[in-house]
A and B are shown apart, each in its own frame.
Chain A
């Protein structure tokens, strides 16, 4: 340092700079050591987590079959065009509307609506642009990957239900789990996550745990834009278990056909095996298309369709068989007769009561709709549906006797059918009267009279009524109605012993709860059955549907829904027929309720007959022999 000047200390200052250089580099090295050697594993894990993603492979749900193995519901793979959000951060989505709607043939408005939805979603979520993409759509997306890298095709199983809402109320439907459901106890701990599809109603809901499979997944490496680079690992999904129901497609079709043709297009027909509670047919009209929920609810049209269903005054979403409550009218009478005999209000030998063409309670005369039957016995009273007889029987039994009957036939309970949302029938009580008519709270004899012929506070679900009558047909054995017959076994998936092994699921048949034994003496029971037999096979109100080789026992009912005089048009009486056959060795019981149609004999009974015709042909191998009697009885 030839220029060095002691006064300036240049040498020392150079050494200071040199030291600073080394100090700074050392500082960097220390920081590098901390990040890489001390915290290295931590960051390696984070890096791994952000490049490895688990993509679920949705498991197909189990299919649903009728009792003879005919398919009702299945899941088939469909392709959807998905828009991945991460690639559209810097894009104006509105610019995509025109080209996408042209190429994929989607309505502009739907796209605009879905893009609006995106804005309120979490940033990493993708959105379905089009469900049920065609081969052309898939080819187009493939060919335009460079132009629209945000689009991809995904395969998803989609639930497919029968057309025209066939069996819709029993089958129910699937839908995405809602945020509220995710919080509910019944869904917790089942590994469900947002977007998962679960059963939302009907059998789909009741047996969701069996029908729902276990999703598989793909472990893939993705880049920062979420594009899949490679699949590392794949765990196959395990399909759900197939459900064999107790439904018979042919009987169901016959029942739905009857309801579709009914005057108001509203009503219920249920057929079941009284020997064990297996439901053959469960039809509720009007019906709805469950495919709406599994396929179309995401679209604008789908939501409009749903709103229309909800607003429909005919309430097509209601399963009338278990959620509808109707005054039973005269179908109440055989239950009254059974209870009257049991309670000793009448006896087998002395069952005659006065009809008198009606009864005067207080200063009010309530007439018998069938005219004056004199002083009939119980057999005749059932056969001719004598109101006057049952007014007096009711008064003899008193409210307490009627309530005892309600208790015996489980009419104040759910039947326990394996469908969700069953409601409880309304049955007479002092409390209910006081609640409904606060100004006239006292229970009076006239209330007992109304309660004794299926009006007033008698408001039953069709399933509860059918179950009670089936118990009469079975000498007092009352079974729990059910639709599930069997779940098929499904094999394990994957290597046993590994973490991802999916255990095989064993077959399962319906576990019958013990039937309720009503303890009706055989001779008493027989008397009621004979009465019901005469309704069809004697000179009764249901003689119009007599079958030559298949003895139907039944009871018509005509339930008043508005006060007399207003009962026209859509306010006509409900038309009931409840029955079982063959009368003394029943194989099938069936109830029909045709809403606001008129006489039970005119609408309810022929509808039931149509179901029996199909049943007869199926079980006897030939069609019903002709009968001489006119089909429609006035």
Chain B
């Protein structure tokens, strides 16, 4: 098999995808350095990149169909990990959440980042069967069940932000598996109407009060919210972004918002604010364009996939990525609430980079085998 791969792999390997992802991580490492120059996060990120590239290549050169076959086993293994992380002593508690497993000598990892992969494979396996017509209710429920099991476990950690990132995986798979369009449209309409309506009703009835109301008000009007309390993160992130201007801040980087510790979590959750501050609107747009290019490339790969399973694997990845990007950047730009979702490929964190590269490895694997042999 190696011999077969060698010829074709070099020609058909999606260099653009791999290179783009690598460049974004390198750019991210530089910004992590800008945010926390005295810490070693940026070095760890580059080491993580090395590991991630190896993992990506290993997945890329493995036939995704074999891995999809293994999906149930991987899925169960993932669920086991999510149970293990809940056991005190093994699972580490950080900020009240038990979502890290400590590996002696290796550091720590976050199972919920990786379990997305078996979930995607499981969904692709189930919905990848050759079939016709719209989805039945039974199929939708089974899909929800595949997603629901790990979600329930993650909610026990509890990690709401991470849970949210699982939802688009199912949504996109259902959508592309031809769920009835009227259903899609009605869900969207309901969301559009229900969100503001629930706010108004919540305030009127007094059900929405205290810190929950504050959280919402922060997003609606950050300038007048409690800038020292609930609104602090949002407000400081907006200041940091705004200060960047068109071409990046002219103030000495020594006195940037992150160096002076005004911007919280600058190397992880608010890395986009650091990008916006150091490189300005031009840099920020360039990063968004890079994401656009990466995602469009993935969609193209999905289109070219030779079977439904491969297409669903890639598109689920696309769904997960765009959702995380939108939530994270939206939070940094102050129009979405603060939820601890990392920016893919940019935020410091081995688990996130590794999981994203494994996902990209699947996409490359799918497109390497786009011709029926």
B296 at the interface (CB under 8 A from A): yes
- Contact status A17-B262, CB under 8 Å: no
Query: Of residues A5, A39, A43, which shows the largest number of chain B Cβ atoms within 10 Å of its Cβ?
Result: A43
- Contact status B303-A1, CB under 8 Å: yes
- Contact status B238-A14, CB under 8 Å: no
- Contact status A17-B257, CB under 8 Å: no
Task: Say how far B351's CB is from chain A's closest CB, in angstroms.
Answer: 24
Q: Which residues of B contact A (CB under 8 A)?
A: 130, 132-134, 172, 175-178, 228, 238-246, 249, 251, 254-255, 257, 259-262, 276, 280-281, 284-285, 288-289, 291-292, 295-296, 299, 302-303, 305-308, 311, 315, 318-319, 322, 325-326, 329-330, 333-335, 372
Residues of B within 8 A of A35 (CB): 238, 241-242, 276, 333-334
- Contact status B239-A47, CB under 8 Å: yes
Name A2's contact: one of B260, B280, B295, B306 (CB within 8 Å): B306
- Contact status B261-A224, CB under 8 Å: yes
- Contact status B243-A14, CB under 8 Å: no
A37→B333 CA distance, assembly (Å)? 13
Task: Say how far A442's CB is from chain B's closest CB, in angstroms.
Answer: 71
Residues of A within 8 A of B318 (CB): 17, 21
Name A32's contact: one of B243, B249, B281 (CB within 8 Å): B281
- Given A21-B292, A43-B238, A50-B239, A37–B245 Cβ distance below 8 Å? yes
- Given A14-B302, A36-B276, A40-B245, A8–B260 Cβ distance below 8 Å? no
Task: Say how far A11's CB is from chain B's closest CB, in angstroms.
Answer: 8
Residues of B within 8 A of A39 (CB): 242
**Which range contains the number of A residues in contact with the other chain?**
35 or more
A218→B119 CA distance, assembly (Å)? 59
Residues of B within 8 A of A619 (CB): none
Name B299's contact: one of A14, A37, A50 (CB within 8 Å): A14
- Contact status B276-A21, CB under 8 Å: no
- Contact status A14-B285, CB under 8 Å: no
- Contact status A8-B322, CB under 8 Å: no
Residues of B within 8 A of A10 (CB): 176, 178, 311
- Contact status B178-A9, CB under 8 Å: yes
B interface, by DSSP: helix, strand, loop or mixed?
helix
- Contact status B172-A25, CB under 8 Å: no
Residues of A within 8 A of B325 (CB): 24-25, 28
C-beta contact mask, A33-56 vs B, less than 8 Å → 1, else 0?
Answer: 101110111111011101100000
- Contact status B178-A222, CB under 8 Å: no
Name B132's contact: one of A8, A16, A40 (CB within 8 Å): A8
Name A42's contact: one of B228, B242, B289, B299 (CB within 8 Å): B242
- Contact status B260-A36, CB under 8 Å: no
- Given A18-B296, A35-B333, A44-B243, A3–B257 Cβ distance below 8 Å? no
Residues of A within 8 A of B261 (CB): 223-225
Name B311's contact: one of A3, A41, A51, A221 (CB within 8 Å): A3
Residues of A within 8 A of B372 (CB): 2
A416→B249 CA distance, assembly (Å)? 62
Residues of B within 8 A of A43 (CB): 238-239, 241-243
C-beta contact mask, A438-455 vs B, less than 8 Å → 1, else 0?
Answer: 000000000000000000
A230→B334 CA distance, assembly (Å)? 30
- Contact status A44-B260, CB under 8 Å: no
A29 at the interface (CB under 8 A from B): yes
- Contact status A32-B241, CB under 8 Å: yes
- Contact status B239-A36, CB under 8 Å: no
